[in-house]
Chains A and B, each alone.
Chain A
Amino acid sequence: MNRFAELLDRLAYEPGRNAKLRLISDYLRHTPDPDRGWALAALTGALSFKHAKGGMIRTLIAERTDPALFALSYDYVGDLSETVALMWPVDPHHRPNATPSLSDVVDTLSTLGKAQLPAQIARWLDALDETGRWALLKLVTGGMRIGVSARLAKTAAASLGDKEPDELEILWPGLTPPYLDLFAWLEGRGEKPSNTDPAPFHPPMLAHAIEDADFESLNADDFMAEWKWDGIRVQAVSGRDPEGHIVARLYSRTGEDISKSFPDLLQSLRLPAAIDGELLIMREDRVQSFNVLQQRLNRKAVTPKLIQEFPAHLRAYDLLAEGEHDLRGHPFEERRARLAKFVEKLSDPRIDLSPLVPFNTWDALKAARADPASAGAGQDAEAVEGVMIKRRDAAYVPGRPKGPWWKWKRDPMIVDAVLMYAQRGHGKRSSYYSDYTFGVWNGANELVPVGKAYFGFTDEELIEIDRFVRRNTIDRFGPVREVTHEGDQGLVLEVAFEGLQRSTRHKSGIAMRFPRISRLRWDKKPGEADRLETLEKMLAKLESGRAA
């Protein structure tokens, strides 16, 4: 448990992706089975313990500490698990000599009844140190939140055997903790585990963003185009188990099994196939905005009411397999034709074909992208994020190969905003003020914050903004500096963003989607920056375009 605790502790503080990978792979390399397998399960979210809840932990600490001291401590620390981990009273002279291993904890928790749990947790807490107790409580209450995705943990595991993460991703659904066969294969001691899952994940093919210069070397005749819908990219796979029953699964782009969140869509996957498509919310034959989809994504429990209000829909882009046949080696044009037939055969209201965008020159496609409504997207135009351009003859290649697929997003929305606060970044940027809060003018002629951005600028621009922040600081709050923002003094930032939504968390009542700094407007005075009413008009336009 101690090594695992140290790993979680470091991961919780480490912002860098590569450093996190190194920490995890170092742990997996130097920790014996089965502990490392349970750790991998914990990091990939494959472990959950039903009975351990915050209330039980609170009772345990209340039985052992002075309530006034606990209240003062909790108030200071702000996190229940952490407060308990730190103030858990231990007699240093009577510390049990054996600390539990991660396997001990997992094994015991899987068999223990609810009634015996508090005493067992208390015994472990007695035996662990501060970091160990913190990790144990995070583990059993299921609130790890250490900034590690399942994908990252799998990538670290794959690196043990110099394997591509996608290779592991394909095997993953067939593996069970503590993954002894997986580690044996990665370390060259055993056979590659076979994925016997009848509905396996297929590592997806991704596109590069196209630049203006790219078009010169590309012949429009070699390509087909389709709308890029503003939902979430998913893979819907179904197959038959040995008994002949259909097994259907929905995967995210990274291979996470998200079937449980979309039971309504799952029942539509009645024929064995693997479809690459976009998950959308459809109401009365109209694609809803991403904001609407998010309302479904944010819920933990999938209730009948939620399903009824936010019906899930799959808009199909590509067919990777049909029945027993793997189609990934076939040209896109052929896969697309089979997809059209397949969707027709399935004939399910929840699954439809994403239409092609007809064009014969790049200029024609440019015009369609600028006005999707007139180019076939009709009433769904507001849910179009841009166009995808795919080579007719391209095979389906996992990863992001350059050339066969391009994405051409719609131009972002843009406003001029005023820099109000700057915060120091993390990792390589920790000596730079690189996170910016910016605002626009409201009706009372005050600046109200409308968003935060920490990318979009070049390294040179970062240095310029950093210098501006240091020279124009008017107040400091820990790592945050407030900078001059008067009508005639301050820095105007051109902010690009993908969408707007109403927000109760922001004083302005509006939140931006994917905001980034697109330009520094040294030529403008803050007084010339945009006003909140401009954003409100943009939002109203978005809402009227989608709701009617």
Chain B
Amino acid sequence: MRAEDILVPTPAGVCCKRGGFHIDPVRPVQKALITHGHSDHARAGHGAVLATQETLAIMRLRYGDNFAGTSQAIRYGEEIKLDGVTVSFHPAGHVLGSAQIKVACDGFSIVASGDYKDVPDPTCTPFELVPCDVFITEATFGLPVFRHHDAKGEIDKLLRSVALFPERAHLVGAYSLGKAQRVIAMLREAGHDKPIYLHGAMEKITRYYESRGIDLGQVELVRGAKKSELAGHITICPPTAMGDLWSRRFPDPVFAFASGWMRVRARARQRGVTLPLVISDHADWDGLTSTIAATGASEVWVTHGQEDALVHWCTSKGLKARPLDIVGYGDEEEADVTPTEAEA
């Protein structure tokens, strides 16, 4: 059995010919297995979709009821046979409902991990290590300069800034799905109990998180708030909203941005961020390399991100490794809901 007999990379995404499906296809296909709800992985228009209940719900929220021809929910750990291959979904720790997809056939297994992180997140099920023969990994932060360190320390930094500048608003740019809710939940864990304001574009997803039993405390919409009320409070918004007319309603805002990209100063500066918060929903370099080693895989396929460095590392450790050139992943932010300028 060779890996390519089970899965092959195609322009549309990783394809299992025998099982008749694609994983996270970037263009419409007959049958898609979706790892998680971010728009670069979960696209509308497939014939049939198999994903976790949460991922299906998120796709429905984003694309409407007709996001796919048919849909089927699968639980973590549940096994489903598709024309001779067995597929199962395992927690990826990335966002609510995110999964790694294991495809097994005749005792040989490949895990397509989608996006993942191996650190605690109060808003989703922790990453589960799935031993396999071939591991397909992302490489968003696949350079040894990406060390995310402890996200709690970054939350403390934000709270210290709020205490030091009580007359200013704190705007925290965060991706709408996952990061926004994680930042709110971590603020609550750190004991912050004041209302947290939210950009309207994040409302539906955030309410969905709450409906799944994730306690986010008092979350208010910016829309109804007066300028003076926003001082001394934290507001979460899509990153693109920070440079927009929308941000003018805030009193002397401090611009924070919660992202793994904030690790590199030039990136933070380029965005005009004054309070970078290194909080990532992707594994950092140490997370990527330790996970690859722990899966026991002898072969690694590297998808979107900094493939070169990770492939180089795998090779230096005696693992077979290759980059998968699939165009279309890694632009979750670009596809994130952008408020129109007219809104201000």
Contact = CB atoms under 8 A, between A and B. Distances in A.
Interface of A: 6, 10, 12-15, 19, 22-23, 26, 65-66, 68-69, 72-73, 76-79, 82-83, 86-87, 89, 92, 129-130, 424, 426-428, 430-431, 470, 478-479
A15 B245 CA distance: 20
Given A13-B274, A73-B143, A87-B145, A6 B308 contact: no
Contact of B244 (A10, A79, A87, A431): A431
A340 B330 CA distance: 73
A431 B247 contact: yes
Interface centre among B157, B265, B271, B272 (most CB of A within 10 A): B272
B248 to A, nearest CB: 5
6 tightest Cβ-Cβ pairs between the two chains A and B = A86-B145, A87-B144, A73-B145, A431-B247, A13-B274, A72-B309
B194 interface: no
Nearest to B272: A430
A86 B269 CA distance: 17
A426 B272 contact: yes
Nearest to B249: A431
B57 interface: no
Contacts of B270: 478-479
Interface size class of B (residues with CB under 8 A): 35 or more
Nearest to A466: B245
A22 B165 contact: yes
Contact of B243 (A12, A15, A73, A431): A431
Contact of A68 (B245, B275, B312): B312
Contact of B247 (A72, A430, A470): A430
30 contacts: A6-B157, A13-B269, A13-B273, A13-B274, A13-B275, A13-B276, A19-B274, A22-B164, A23-B164, A68-B309, A68-B312, A69-B144, A72-B143, A73-B144, A77-B145, A87-B144, A87-B147, A89-B144, A92-B286, A130-B147, A426-B272, A430-B242, A430-B272, A431-B243, A431-B245, A431-B248, A470-B341, A478-B270, A478-B271, A479-B243
Contact of B313 (A12, A69, A129, A470): A69
Contacts of A89: 144
Contacts of B248: 431
A72 B308 contact: yes
A247 B253 CA distance: 49
Contacts of A86: 144-147, 263-264
Given A130-B263, A478-B270, A10 B308 contact: no
B255 interface: yes
Contacts of A10: 161, 275
A147 to B, nearest CB: 11
Contacts of B147: 86-87, 130
Contacts of B254: 19
B12 interface: no
Nearest to B168: A19
A156 to B, nearest CB: 13
A424 B271 CA distance: 9
A216 B284 CA distance: 69
A27 to B, nearest CB: 10
Contacts of A69: 143-144, 309, 312-313
Interface string B309-331: 10011001000000000000000
